Amino acid sequence: MPGPKKRGHRRYRQRTPIHARLGQHFFTSGSVADRIIRSMDLRQNHSVLELGAGEGFFTWMIAPNVRSLTAIEIDPQLITQLNARFKDFEGIRVIRRGMTSTVKFGDYDVIFGNIPFNRSADVFKKISRPPVGFKFCYLIVQTEAAYRLLGSGRPTELAVLAYPFIDVRMGVNVPRWAYDPPASVDSIALHAVPRQSPLVSRRNYPAFRTFVKTIIHSDIRKLSRVIGSHISYPRRRQICAQVNIETSDSHLALSMPQYVALFDAISTSQRSTDAQSPPLQTMSPVRPASC
């Protein structure tokens, strides 16, 4: 009597040097992709920019739901495949370009990307740089990176600089076997939506960026040093109370909302000091002291 048949093993494509260099993992799970598409707020009047279209797996699924789709890809072999596959589709445009190139994200309603994990930070930096012009952004990123971008635990510089301009939340979990070749880490669909009212104005963004970098990259951690010696001690205590922190606290304990609140409080105090200065006195701009 013949024994039971052994279950066949799924055959994955061989990992090539160019796949490794570009961080390419090709999505192959229709069921997982369908859950991701259904979680996206796509409309028939939307224009979509797809970052790293690959072989067009998501391109094929997204295009029928929107007005137009621009797929960008850097791999010349994949560009040839994409052009051949979608040559008869008027709503799909394929261009050879890098994901963080001169393409303006604000020219599109929706940004979507099943992006290489090693490019997550670069892409996130671009989508969060003001002014944010798109309506929705959906990125499939490594789960660990997603938590960093959300500011979980100790907020990273990238997460703090993005926080005033975009609201980020977790979406569909993506199993490793959804890729070919299989990914070595877990991933997730990250949803980002521009804030209707940015927490930091575009004019103040350079100062906010300097402020955040000064704090995060400082070797000294005491918050009273962050506020600076140009502010009186009573005013420093008042600012800390306003932001719900202690002057003796470490800046490592700051949350993303507290970064914004502390920046606003110090800026307000600086404007008040400048307003009370004698009209003929030249005041040099005061920068936050190193922590």
CATH number for the domain including 157?
Answer: 3.40.50.150
Same domain, 176 and 213: no
Is residue 226 domain-resident?
Answer: yes
* Same domain assignment for residues 128 and 239: no
> Which is more confidently placed, 274 or 288?
274
The overall average pLDDT reported for the chain is 84
Percent of the chain beyond pLDDT 90? 57
Q: What is the pTM of this model?
A: 0.82
Q: Assess whether 189 and 212 both reside in one domain.
A: no
Residue 127 has pLDDT above 80, yes or no: yes
- Cα gap 243→258, rounded to integer Å: 6
Are 175 and 224 part of one and the same domain? no
User: Domains in the chain: how many in total?
Assistant: 2
Cβ atoms of 24 and 81 within 8 Å: the answer is no
Asked if residue 116 belongs to a domain, the reply is yes
Residue 3, token pair as written in the block:
């024994």
pLDDT of 273 above 70: no
Please indicate, yes or no, whether residues 122 and 237 belong to a single structural domain of this protein: no
Angle at 39 between CA 34 and CA 42, to 5 degrees: 95
184 vs 17 pLDDT, higher one: 184
pLDDT in tens, 95-104: 999 888 888 9
Alpha helices, H only, 168-255 = 205-216, 223-227, 233-243
Q: Name the residue range of residue 253's domain.
A: 205-274
At residue 286, does pLDDT exceed 50? no
For residue 180, what pLDDT is reported? Answer: 87
| Statement to judge: residues 144 and 108 lie in one domain | yes
Claim to verify: residue 47 and residue 118 sit in the same structural domain: yes
Q: Is the pLDDT of residue 65 over 90?
A: yes
Q: What is the CATH number of the domain that holds 228?
A: 1.10.8
pLDDT at residue number 275: 54
Whether residue 199 lies inside any domain: the answer is: no
For residues 151 and 133, what is the distance between their CA atoms, to the nearest angstrom? 22
Q: Do 157 and 211 reside in the same domain of the chain?
A: no
State residue 1's pLDDT score: 44
What's the pLDDT tens digit per position in 201-239? 999 999 999 999 988 888 877 777 776 667 777 888 888
- Pick from 194, 217, 234: which residue ends a domain? 194
